[in-house]
């Protein structure tokens, strides 16, 4: 298996708050990794570190073709290249409210990647079709349901054709009846072979879709492994306690 992400000794503090205290893990190309753990344990900060939305204090991180030693010297160009390796899906989709669905999707490919508008538009329409939203291309985000907005948020990340997809609690802002349609889209992407890291509270989904689960607590990975092991037969009491509280 080719390793697409490698994290060694990642740390991050916000002031006196030592949020990530030494994180190490790897992600194989084409695999799905679920990050689970209690609220406030550092899951989102960990994910944001992989796109430098939060810039780590230390640690050597490789994401596809970019490696940065965050404790050492690196340039703005290094950071730009690192960021370009991954696409980020936010909990609240972060769509521009004054742009149509289509405009939201082609913005990155056209403005950042300098791709021709016609080509980016064709791709965007094909992707929208694949998530059942081709008919909504000219609508504004506010005209869509939360689940539809999040599906557009996912398409927007995919349209950049990144090497890795990072999804931060993609269903936690949704009404329960809308969760399924978004999880289906993520499952389809995993089936298509996308390399992804998903922070999620959906434990059943994590167990069914991921190849690897990281259980994070107190800024460290307490336990990691195959979902049937970590979720089905946790080795650590902290993992077992967390999972018991969910049921
Ligand atoms: P989780 O995703 O597991 O709920 P987070 O990574 O969101 O955890 O947060 C971990 C800790 O980091 C929390 O104590 C949170 O308050 C703090 N934190 C996260 N982002 C920031 C920030 N931008 N500034 C200050 N503190 C932050």
C-alpha 193 – ligand 1 centre gap (Å): 30
CB environment 125-139: b (16+ within 10 A), e (fewer) = bebbebbebeebbee
The tokens describing 158, both together, are 């995919």
48 lines ligand 1 (CB under 6 A): no
196 φ/ψ sector (left φ>0, alpha ψ -120 to 50, else beta): beta
Give the mean pLDDT of the chain.
96
Instruction: Please give the ipTM for the structure prediction.
Output: 0.98
Q: pLDDT (tens digit, 9 = 90+) per residue, 139-167?
A: 999 999 999 999 999 999 999 999 999 99
Q: pLDDT (tens digit, 9 = 90+) per residue, 30-86?
A: 999 999 999 999 999 999 999 999 999 999 999 999 999 999 999 999 999 999 999
3-class DSSP state of 73: coil
pLDDT at res. 246: 85
Distance (Å) of CA 163 to CA 64, 148, 223:
7, 24, 26
Residue in 44, 46, 77 with CA at minimum distance from that of residue 61 = 46
pLDDT at res. 220: 98
For tokens 């160009």, what's the residue?
A: 77
Our mutation pick for probing the ligand 1 site, out of 21, 40, 199, counting the most ligand atoms within 8 A of Cβ, is 40
Output the residue whose Cα is nearest ligand 1's atom 26. 14
Q: pLDDT (tens digit, 9 = 90+) per residue, 81-94?
A: 999 999 999 998 88
State the DSSP H helix or E strand holding residue 205, giving kind and residue range, or none if neither.
helix 203-209
pLDDT at res. 213: 98
pLDDT at res. 170: 94
C-alpha 134 – ligand 1 centre gap (Å): 36
Cα–Cα distance for residue pair 40/104, rounded to 1 Å: 31
* Residue 37 alpha carbon, nearest atom of ligand 1: 3
pLDDT at res. 218: 97
DSSP state of 1: -
C-alpha 153 – ligand 1 centre gap (Å): 22
247 lines ligand 1 (CB under 6 A): no
43 lines ligand 1 (CB under 6 A): yes
CB environment 156-178: b (16+ within 10 A), e (fewer) = bbbbbebbbbbbbbbbeebeeeb
Chain mean position to CA 101: 20
Our mutation pick for probing the ligand 1 site, out of 18, 19, 54, counting the most ligand atoms within 8 A of Cβ, is 19
The tokens describing 125, both together, are 């329409």
Quick check: 247 pLDDT over 80? no
């Amino acid at each position: 298996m080719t390793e697409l992400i490698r994290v060694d000794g990642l740390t991050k503090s916000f002031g006196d708050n030592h949020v990530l205290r030494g994180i190490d893990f790897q992600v194989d190309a084409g695999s799905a990794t679920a990050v689970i753990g209690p609220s406030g344990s550092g899951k989102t900060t960990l994910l944001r570190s992989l796109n430098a939305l939060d810039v780590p204090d230390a640690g050597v991180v490789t994401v596809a073709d970019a490696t940065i030693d965050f404790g050492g010297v690196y340039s703005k160009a290094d950071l730009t290249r690192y960021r370009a390796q991954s696409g980020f899906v936010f909990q609240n989709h972060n769509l521009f409210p004054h742009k149509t669905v289509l405009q939201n999707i082609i913005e990155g490919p056209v403005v950042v990647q300098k791709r021709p508008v016609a080509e980016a538009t064709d791709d965007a329409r094909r992707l929208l079709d694949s998530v059942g939203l081709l008919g909504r291309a000219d609508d504004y985000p506010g005209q869509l349901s939360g689940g539809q907005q999040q599906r557009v948020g996912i398409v927007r990340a995919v349209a950049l054709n990144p090497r890795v997809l990072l999804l931060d609690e993609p269903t936690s802002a949704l009404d329960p009846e809308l969760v399924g349609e978004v999880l289906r889209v993520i499952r389809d992407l995993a089936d298509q072979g996308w390399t992804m890291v998903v922070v999620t509270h959906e434990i059943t989904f994590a167990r069914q879709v991921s190849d690897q689960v990281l259980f994070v607590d107190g800024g460290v990975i307490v336990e990691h492994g195959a979902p049937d092991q970590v979720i089905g037969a946790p080795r650590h009491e902290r993992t077992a306690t967390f999972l018991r509280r969910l049921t």
